[in-house]
Amino acid sequence: MKVFGLKINFWLLLVLGLIGVLRIPSLIEPNWYGDEQIYLVLGREIARGAVLYRDIWDNKPPLLYVLYALHPTLLWAKALATVFVLGTCTGVYLLAKKVLSNHSQPNPTPTTVFPLLATLAVGIFMSLPLLEGTIANAELFFTLPIVWGGYLIVCHAGPDPASIKLFNGFRVIPGMTIVGLLMAAAFLLKVPAIFDFAGMIFAVVLIRLARGGLASSASPPLAKLVRFILPIAISFLALLILVFGYFYFNNALADFLIASFSQNASYVAVDSGPLSKLSNPLFVKAILLVASGLLLVASYFKRFISKEMLFLALWFGFSLYGAILSNRPYAHYLLQIVPPLVLLILYVLYDFLFIRKNRLATIVVGISLCLILFALSQMFARAFALPTKPYFENWFEYVSERKLWEDYVSFFDKRTLNSYAIADYIKKRSNPDDPIFVWGDAAGVYVLSNRPAAIRFIQAHHLTTIDPANYDALINQLIKVRPKFIIISRPVHFAFPLLEDLVSFYYKEVAVFQDLHVYQLADEKNF
């Protein structure tokens, strides 16, 4: 099909349209999910001119907050996530076509149908509440640069890819420069995304070392590897240097490093035990990854599996390690493995049904995938996720005016109505530039009231994980800023005696919304 002279794949458009329709309910969700509210607070403060980490804090790399800051509303975040998911699905389609095109078949139907099935499967799993696909978390964003990076890697992984001469006859592959930029973008969205690229690059290096790419060429093996890897490394580091430079010149480099990397590492290591012990789950997972990787490599060198199988399996293995790096089983972590897992499963089926070169090895890979999926189902059995069918029923009943707004919101989290009520209360009794402070897990109050945060820490766990002994400095900041309202979640999960003293001296309790207590500045003259 052609539109304005451009060749358009009708079936791909149909699949993307179905995925887009599936994501429509997410566009009207209320402000209920805690992480989204944090991202919105940071995005709004950045849009107001705040420097990330120096003026407003959270413990993730910066790019996600920048995306939210472009237009800090929940509808924007949901719509942008939908665009990224559709972009990811398009990349999956092209990548699947590229992988399967290496196997000529008398019947072209499988190479047409399988990429569409992969696209549909990825779109569905990334759009259902089952894996928190309706939430605009980093996973929905960083899968796009990962998949498109994988597509470019596969396109340039042949024995004689297009290259350009730099100096003394040395050549590099320019397409790999884009891969490095995509890798940096994914890394700046969330650190574990780097594992996907590591797996894909490692696979291509092995394939080039094994045969075809290196053995048949007159170029030295090291030169061919450098030609492939150097542009990736240079562009990756170049973008990181620009980001580091921005925070350095804005006096926020130390905070950036602590929030994005140091505190992230501490978060991952929670409940893991001492890193020096081999019983640490991080080591156990790494050992399993190395062992399975070596088995795959040996199978490839023995020609039991194809290079396509090796590429997809190593990508999935490294991606899985990144997804389960933390010992906290949040369902949205599994979104990271959806593209490589779907592609690997479909390739295993394609290999078994149509290629038929080594069915025993294919069966072993298939059984291994089943065991991994079973283990993941046990590991994430208690992970929070909204029930899928009631989620869509709740949406349909609301848009068809069979359910009141309050009931619609309560389906997600009954406490969300408290945040809406407090925000309405604050907006009626304050000016838009009056700062507020929330002690607890209610960042939605900042968003819904559209009031600035009094200090850079907007969540109680930010204060307790960064420097629990620094409460004196924080109280001094609150005294200096004089927030118009202080909201405290009771019972208090993180004790802050100095805050209690401040509230008792200078504030009065003016409202209570279940567990959220609202205090208004009463004695401003003697503050």
- Whole-number pLDDT of residue 187: 98
pLDDT band at residue 358 under the 50/70/90 scheme: confident
- pLDDT greater at residue 295 or residue 214: 295
Mean pLDDT of 331-350: 96
DSSP 39-106: HHHHHHHHHTTPPBTTTB--SS-SHHHHHHHTS-SHHHHHHHHHHHHHHHHHHHHHHHHHHHTTS--S
> Under a CB-based contact definition with an 8 Å cutoff, are residues 486 and 506 in contact?
no
How much is the mean pLDDT over the chain? 87
Q: Reply yes or no: is the peptide bond before residue 491 cis, omega within 30 of 0.
A: yes
Mean pLDDT confidence for 278-303: 76
Beta strands in 285-354 (DSSP E): none
Instruction: Tell me which residue of 176, 177, 90, 147 sits closest to 316, measured CA to CA.
Output: 147
Residue 217's pLDDT band, with cuts at 50, 70 and 90, is: very low
Closest CA to 340 of 95, 35, 517, 142: 95
429 exposure class (CB count in 10 Å sphere: 0-12, 13-18, 19+): middle
Using the predicted structure, report yes or no on whether residue 31 has a pLDDT greater than 80: yes
Distances (CA, A) of 103 to 99, 201, 211, 306: 8, 22, 17, 11
Q: Is the pLDDT of residue 271 over 60?
A: no
Q: What is the pTM of this model?
A: 0.91
Per-residue pLDDT, 2: 54
Q: Which residues are 85's β-sheet partners?
A: none
pLDDT value at residue 465: 61
Which of 84, 314, 284, 286 minimizes the C-alpha distance to 197? 314
Confidence of residue 329 (pLDDT cuts 50, 70, 90): confident
What was the pLDDT predicted at 173? 63
Q: What pLDDT score was predicted for residue 194?
A: 96
pLDDT band of 215, cuts 50, 70, 90: very low
Lowest mean pLDDT among 122-126, 143-147, 306-310: 306-310
* Cα-Cα end-to-end distance for the chain: 71
Specify the pLDDT at position 503.
95
Burial 123-153 (b: 16+ CB within 10 A, else e): bbbbbbbbbbbbbbbbbbbbbbbbbbbbbbb
Strand 436-439 and strand 485-489: the pairing is parallel
Condensed to tens digits (0 to 9), the pLDDT of residues 58-112 reads: 989 999 999 999 999 999 999 999 999 999 999 999 999 999 887 666 567 777 8
pLDDT of 414 strictly over 80? yes
